[in-house]
Chains A and B, each alone.
Chain A
Amino acid sequence: EADIYQTPRYLVIGTGKKITLECSQTMGHDKMYWYQQDPGMELHLIHYSYGVNSTEKGDLSSESTVSRIRTEHFPLTLESARPSHTSQYLCASSAGTSGGAGEQYFGPGTRLTVT
């Protein structure tokens, strides 16, 4: 069982609210990732981090932001939620020694609904 946690698991929130999706891992992995996945669709990388104070945007443009102040913690924030942000957000981490190589361990996901 992978030691990566996401909270909340489900969130329903109104338009315009600020939200933060939490992701923590206890494996000491340097690399962490956020993916967005619409129902029945593929995963799209929206943010990643190769270590503390390192954050990069992924392949899919996102209005969210991330921070990496501690190795184990990689929160994602939406300053003003909109219905178009309704999706599932998956956090992952890996101990790959170079680039993206290495298996990723996934959290259970946060299913966000913006009304």
Chain B
Amino acid sequence: AQSVTQLDSHVSVSEGTPVLLRCNYSSSYSPSLFWYVQHPNKGLQLLLKYTSAATLVKGINGFEAEFKKSETSFHLTKPSAHMSDAAEYFCVFTGGFKTIFGAGTRLFVKA
């Protein structure tokens, strides 16, 4: 069975420090993986996607993620957090006719 696990429900960082949001998946299919961001009272916006091309994926707003098949991971990173990055982040898996959302990670950014 396919599944997506976001390992942290909350992450808190200081402005200017690196961000790491962790996502693991489980699937017997070749997955497509996405990261979405949701700001308060807004819809979801695509940050980046992996669809079996380059394993290091660059997205918008300085975010990137690396697909590691051996670790079944797709962690989201950013070198330097900005206050505007504070939001909810969802890791999403599609494969085998299923789309599965992770539970979300809320990122707090301290001044």
**A80-115 residues at the B interface, CB under 8 angstroms:** 90, 92, 96, 98-109, 111
Contact call B94/A106, Cβ cutoff below 8 A: no
CB nearest neighbor in B for A88: B41
Contact call B104/A100, Cβ cutoff below 8 A: no
Q: Does B96 contact A (CB under 8 A)?
A: yes
Chain A residues with CB under 8 Å of B43's CB are: 6, 90, 106-109
Residue total for A at the interface (Cβ-Cβ under 8 A): 25
Across the interface, B106 reaches (CB within 8 A) one of A40, A45, A105, namely A40
Given A101-B32, A103-B49, A108-B42: A43 and B97 interface contact (C-beta under 8 Å): no
Contact call B42/A100, Cβ cutoff below 8 A: no
Across the interface, B42 reaches (CB within 8 A) one of A44, A96, A98, A109, namely A109
Chain B residues with CB under 8 Å of A100's CB are: 94-95, 97-99
Contact call A101/B104, Cβ cutoff below 8 A: no
User: Chain B at the A interface: mostly helix, strand, loop or mixed?
Assistant: strand
- 9 pairs of residues in contact across A and B, judged by CB atoms under 8 Å: A42-B102, A43-B101, A92-B44, A100-B94, A101-B32, A103-B34, A104-B34, A105-B46, A111-B41
Q: Does A12 contact B (CB under 8 A)?
A: no
Contact call A102/B104, Cβ cutoff below 8 A: no
Interface residues of A (CB under 8 A from B): 6, 33, 35, 40-45, 90, 92, 96, 98-109, 111
Contact with A along B77-103 (1 / 0, CB 8 A): 000000000001010101111110111
In the complex, A109→B36 CA distance in Å?
15
Chain B residues with CB under 8 Å of A98's CB are: 97
Contact call B44/A99, Cβ cutoff below 8 A: no
Chain B residues with CB under 8 Å of A90's CB are: 43-44
In the complex, A27→B16 CA distance in Å?
37
In the complex, A106→B92 CA distance in Å?
13
CB nearest neighbor in B for A35: B101
**B4-52 residues at the A interface, CB under 8 angstroms:** 32, 34, 36, 41-46, 49, 51
Shortest beta-carbon distance, A25 to chain B, in Å?
Answer: 12
CB nearest neighbor in B for A48: B99
